[in-house]
Structure 1
């Protein structure tokens, strides 16, 4: 082998090493509104979708999933997948009752160091409606994780904003930033959620003062449709982006996607999973 070929091979192998090393150092984060379990959804009811959801999670190999709307039994179904566990409580009693904003993560990759919850209301320490919300209690859950391989410690916050209360969404955005600063302080943080707000809303603009939108900073052009809500309509225009993954400024995003996986022209939920491969700077 001549010198030129040796040089080319050395450069090629070095590039491959750097590429795959970067891939190994990324964490695949998803935000996924599971859609609550209600039999009135007919063919789109959870009983008809749960295996599809699990297969999707396994195939795309999510490391961390911020889930919304799931009841306890729905989350329990997901963690039947080997290597996954979760933290989260019911929004109605801080235990098991009602929908969760549960954070599912690989316990093979991460160690849970701390966790907690707060409600989106004037007094975030206990369940109750907040501001002009008239439908539901709204809860945010968080975890502090340690990457077992790198030793890196970071926080994940997950939330579901109210779908009716305009003031509630504005104030919830302020509360989320306040709580992230209180809990994570200057640490690394990820915020996932269904914010029921589009990118031009006051709520999202408030969050983006302090956090980066993974869609905006993805090093690879965002993949998939812009919209994240399909309403179980296979021909939906997919132009409504209300699900987000935000990160602190010391986090980079390799790539971002909205996944359109379907089976028999049915989606796994009325929201599409949002996914970002992130890395710590």
Structure 2
């Protein structure tokens, strides 16, 4: 799953985090997600979700200082099913190892959090990476895609790869073309017809904007995409976030 949960902004009024937190947690819980890449999560939001999802652990650091400052791109995972073998975070910038780095024409620091997971029952391993590209910098989005493609190759080796995130670009963007040179868009690869609307951005309203597909799950060639769904669950005309979660069912190589 990939899910931009919207940072806790008190100015959101009825859509503020205290009014949404259980619905976000319930979405992950009900769909029995094995691993989820979240975006825009502040540390107290992560703590709230962790308390409501006791079957999950999480990995990640804040983008501002490499500790607890600013938004995280955390990875939540089922701790009874998966064990992280190694993990880390890098900044989407020419200085990826320097906390708080801002790259190219980006308005804000941006990060990618990654982990190599091992299936506790089979020993099978895969690389999972989660990110959030800049909302303003067009050069930053392209160069971030280039950096991530390079880091995926370095970190994964022969391991299967899953890349999730809010990329703030549509499929026509150069960054999308860069990533799909080696990865597949799960919506395109799915073996069953996609479920739900195409767009992923709602702005909290009861309407999904069709042209705004900016949240993705990308997969390496060895993984089969069995199902792809955009979860457009709405209560009283309101979504749990200003983005929709994307849920994908994958099958590992035989």
Fold shared, TM-score > 0.5 on shorter chain: yes
Q: Contact 1:225/1:239 (CA < 8 Å) preserved in 2? A: no
Which residue of 2 is the match for residue 260 of structure 1?
232
- 4+ residue segments displaced more than 2 Å: 235-239
Pair 1:41 & 2:12 matched: yes
In the aligned structure 2, how far is the partner of 1:58 from the partner of 1:160? 23
Q: Deviation at 1:138?
A: 0.3
Query: Which blocks of at least 5 consecutive residues in structure 2 are unaligned?
Result: none
RMSD between aligned residues: 0.9
Q: Deviation at 1:235?
A: 2.5
Report the 3-state secondary structure (helix = DSSP H, G, I; strand = E; otherwise coil) of the residue aligned with 2:139.
Answer: helix
Q: Of 133, 139, 155, which aligns to 1:161?
A: 133
Q: TM-score, normalised by structure 1?
A: 0.88
> Which structure has the highest helix share of the two?
1
Q: Deviation at 1:271?
A: 0.2
Pair 1:129 & 2:94 matched: no
Structure with higher Rg: it is: 1
Which residue of 2 is the match for residue 61 of structure 1?
32
Q: Contact 1:190/1:248 (CA < 8 Å) preserved in 2? A: yes
In the aligned structure 2, how far is the partner of 1:179 from the partner of 1:106? 25
In the aligned structure 2, how far is the partner of 1:223 from the partner of 1:188? 24
Which residue of 2 is the match for residue 17 of structure 1?
none
Which residue of 2 is the match for residue 71 of structure 1?
42
1:38-71: CA deviation from partner (whole Å, max 9, x where unpaired): 1100010111100111111111111111000000
Q: Of 247, 252, 276, which aligns to 2:219?
A: 247
Q: Contact 2:197/2:208 (CA < 8 Å) preserved in 1? A: no
Count of aligned positions: 251
Pair 1:96 & 2:71 matched: no
In the aligned structure 2, how far is the partner of 1:190 from the partner of 1:237? 26
Query: Which blocks of at least 5 consecutive residues in structure 1 are unaligned?
Result: 1-29
